[in-house]
Amino acid sequence: MKYLNPNHTMLVTVPRIAAVFFIALQLLGMKAYPGGTMYDTSTQGYSFSKNFFSDMGAYAARNGDPNYFSMILFAMSLTIVGITFISYYLLLPRLLGNDRFNYILTWVGTLFAIGGSVCMIGTGFTPSDVVFAPHVFFANNIFHCFLVTALLYTIVIFRSDGLQKRYAIGYAMFFISILTYVIILQYGPSVNSGESALIFQVLSQKVIVIVFCFSVIHQTFGFTKSGILKQKHSLNS
């Protein structure tokens, strides 16, 4: 009888499903968004270049219409991903902590990942038009937390025999992408300075979220090709 490998389920299957659900729920949320942007409340529907993701999570749309359906989808998508990431990163120290130094790095990286995941869930449940300050705190700290996680896991994978080094390069690119976005958040043009600045910030956010999704899926292929999941499963059987 062939038994299901729980490591494969939680590190490959579930993250892939969560990524698909996240993308699908975001697209549905965009479709359901009534309309309005920061500089033009008369627009219809969601603008990919002028509406932040957080606009979907607002209690009311920018045009003043109720935004309940989009808000629920937004919260659901971030909750699914947040819970998935917590489970995902809790398993990694056992797989990649092949020596004391790596073990310490994986746990520090995991703790920051859990912090970022909690911030994801917090972002989904703090509508920006109702509780703006908590929403901004949670949203920004998603990237601050995962910046540390990406850096530490880049080092871990480079030092580990469990995954091919190209997956460390993938994590390094993920780290550089998050670092770039954090710099944009801190020092980029304010959305209050004009519509061109709004477009720049909105598209920057879209890019980093796409990179986030791609990075997660990329790492799942690393686990399936390395054989580390089968090795760990056989040792625990």
pLDDT digits (tens, 9 = 90+) for 146-186: 999 999 999 999 988 777 888 889 899 999 999 999 999 99
CA torsion 223→229→231→233, rounded to 10°? 180
pTM of the model as a whole: 0.90
If DSSP states are collapsed to H, E and C, what string results for 188-220?
A: CCCHHHCHHHHHHHHHHHHHHHHHHHHHHHHHH
pLDDT digits (tens, 9 = 90+) for 168-177: 898 999 999 9
- Indicate whether 78 pLDDT > 90: yes
Chain mean pLDDT for the chain: 91
d(CA 164, CA 144): 26
| Buried-state track 24-56, b at ≥16 Cβ within 10 A, e below 16 | ebbebbbebbbbbbbeeeebeebbeebbbbbbb
Domain spans, the chain:
6-227
pLDDT band at 235 (very low <50, low <70, confident <90, very high): very low
DSSP state of 11: I
